[in-house]
Amino acid sequence: MKELLCQAARTARPPLNILFWAALAFATPVNSWAQTASTFEQQVEGLYQQKRWPELIQLVQSTNGGSSGVNFYYGSALAQLQRWPEAEAAFRAGSRQQPHDKRFPVELAGVAFKQKRYGESARWLRRALALDPGDTYANDFLGTVYFLQGNLDGALKYWNRAGKPLLANVLNQPAPQIDSSLLDHALAFSPASLLTAPQLRTTDLRIKGLGIFRDYRFDLQARDDGKFDLLFQNQERNGLGKNWKEALFLTFRSIPFETLHFDYFNIGREARSIVSTYRFDAEKRRLLIQYSSPFEHNPKYRYQWIGDLRSENWNVQTSFQGPTTLLGSFNLRREAIGFNFASFESGRWQWMAGAELSHRDFRSVVPGPALTPELLAKGYQLKQLSQLDVALLHVPEHRLTSDGAVSSQAARIWSSPARSFEKLQAALRTHWFPQASGHDWEMHHQLRAGKTFGDPPFDELFILGMHRDEELWMRGHVATRDGRKGAAPMGRNYFLSNWELDKNVYHRHLVDLKLGPFVDTGKTTDPVPGLGSRKWLWDAGAQAKVRVFGIGVVFSYGKDLRTGNNAFYVSMLREP
């Protein structure tokens, strides 16, 4: 039996030579196919090198497909003959076969670029750079795409990686009247050098800090020698205005708000300016004078003197319209003189420090639950101010920026008894152009919060409402009633969110019109009864921004979603 089992086992096991020949028979077609595929790709590559595009295309189309290399040469030949849809299909097929081969997204970017689909071209180039961030050609190409889209920040980011752009000249259009050496010092770059994105952002900050350019922009102009000229297009403010008509318009532009302006810019061509406001409203009289100048002919630094005189009648109330409760009233007299010193360090950050000496007096006081002795502290006050602004996020590809700010105001009042307080604030601002080019749509969002320590006087409380003296706007709340301040939520601490979207609906010659919605939400708190909002406030509405001859006006309609109150308001756009 044992011998029979052994013999059966030997009969069942095939000889080794049979296994060998069987393996060889299966392996031979595979090797032959691989050699054939390699030979075919070499043949296609040869036709590509000889620029025999039609023959290459005919050869590839006679087969049922090919390797990623064959698809690359096939797509390139189709692109040479401007057969864009077929070329795109070939490159996409090759990209699916070799997703980590950067050649395919680069070529797909080229196909999209030739058809002026710049947004799609940029997306393919960003994919190629994700595979190889140091690719000089792809960086240069992507910079060019952004340049053609009018996105100078995006162009510089990628051009700089390729050692571009080299500046030849800096040109002005028109030639500004400011002293040329002062303007030159504001430029963080120089001719015959590489223009970098950080240099341009620093220059933008310092030009803005001069305070005499109502509007400006930088444009690059390509030259035949491969270099670029940088064009500074500007609208400069000088004296009272360009002529007597503009001077009259600027002086009386706020007459509907019972306000006159006397502004004189660029004194002695040194970017020294006087900006003043006189409000003759019987309920809110004010005289504000500001003088500012570069420090020692250096646009990196700027100082400012401020004089502020006020006489205001306040009625502290629970609402700006409809049924209301009077929580106290008074007349505020306040005189102040201040000094600020600002440093525009770079496009990434800037700081400001200053001091203010003031005196306040509360008269004709009608007592109420909102008026405690601490809030009515009168006498001299010395305040120290400081602020730091930092650029947090800059994504030029998507035209998105975000920056933050922190500020401190520490003060002491020589009242009876003496008191002190400190106000801390923080802000986060986001600015976004959703489209790849142009300014057709524009989005702003700002988050702000503040907290007070100690015993501030009444006029140092935070106010959430619309008024031309305030900055914390809830656009469904007006800060005045019957012309008197005190009708908006106020308190020692606050949180505020402002979101708005603008659509450019008209732009021609000297007139701009933008329309868009907004949403505001906020809350203010205070331990004093009658102050603070107690609940979260929600306002929604729409606004129109009109700019004529460089002067902007905002017409807004906001609705308080809690009370149903409606707020119509007209204000002047703040000058840069």
The two three-digit tokens of residue 405, written as one number: 């700010």
pLDDT at 416: 84
pLDDT at 549: 67
Neighbours of 437 (CB within 10 A): 15
DSSP β-bridge partners for residue 215: 235
Residue type, 44: V
The two three-digit tokens of residue 533, written as one number: 């909002």
What is the C-alpha to C-alpha distance for residues 181 and 203, in angstroms, rounded to an integer? 14
Question: pLDDT tens, 85-98?
Answer: 999 999 999 999 99
107, 567, 572 from 281: Cα distances, Å = 67, 21, 17
Contact in structure between 503 and 444 (CB atoms under 8 Å): no
Question: pLDDT tens, 158-201?
Answer: 999 999 999 999 999 999 999 999 999 999 998 888 999 999 99
> Is the preceding peptide bond at 165 cis, omega within 30 degrees of 0?
yes
Contact in structure between 402 and 393 (CB atoms under 8 Å): yes
pLDDT at 6: 37
Going from the N-terminus, what domains does the chain have, and what CATH number goes with each?
A: 167-236 (3.10.20.310), 281-572 (2.40.160.50)
What is the C-alpha to C-alpha distance for residues 435 and 399, in angstroms, rounded to an integer? 8
pLDDT at 459: 94
For strand 379-395 and strand 349-366, is the pairing parallel, antiparallel, or unpaired?
Answer: antiparallel
What is the C-alpha to C-alpha distance for residues 416 and 407, in angstroms, rounded to an integer? 28
| CA angle (569 as vertex; 427, 425 as ends), nearest 5 | 15
User: Torsion over CA of 192, 197, 200 and 201, rounded to 10 degrees?
Assistant: -160
The two three-digit tokens of residue 463, written as one number: 């106010």
Token pair 């001859």 is found at 549
Task: List Cβ<8 Å contacts ≥24 apart for 55-62.
Answer: 57/81
> pTM for the full model?
0.86
Question: Coil, strand, or helix at residue 246?
Answer: helix
> Is the preceding peptide bond at 417 cis, omega within 30 degrees of 0?
yes
Nearest C-alpha neighbor of 355 from the set 343, 341, 334: 341
Element holding 307 (H helix, E strand) = strand 298-317
The two three-digit tokens of residue 70, written as one number: 């064959």
How far does the chain reach from its first CA to its final CA, in angstroms?
A: 108
Nearest C-alpha neighbor of 390 from the set 352, 362, 419, 338: 352
Percent of the chain at pLDDT > 70 equals: 92
What is the C-alpha to C-alpha distance for residues 428 and 408, in angstroms, rounded to an integer? 16
Element holding 85 (H helix, E strand) = helix 84-97
DSSP β-bridge partners for residue 385: 354, 409
Residue type, 253: R
DSSP β-bridge partners for residue 513: 506, 546
For the chain, what is the mean pLDDT? 90
| DSSP codes joined into one string, 361-394 | EEEEEE--TT--TTTT--EEEEEEEEEEEEEEEE
The two three-digit tokens of residue 211, written as one number: 């305070």
The two three-digit tokens of residue 373, written as one number: 């002795």
Q: Which of the residues in the chain have pLDDT under 50?
A: 1-35, 576
| CA angle (421 as vertex; 420, 427 as ends), nearest 5 | 160
pLDDT at 37: 61
Instruction: Report the Cα 439 to chain-centroid distance in Å.
Output: 12
Contact in structure between 478 and 463 (CB atoms under 8 Å): no
Strand order in the sheet with 167-173: 167-173, 228-236, 213-222
Which residues 6+ apart lie within 8 Å of 349 measured at CB?
Answer: 388, 389, 390, 391
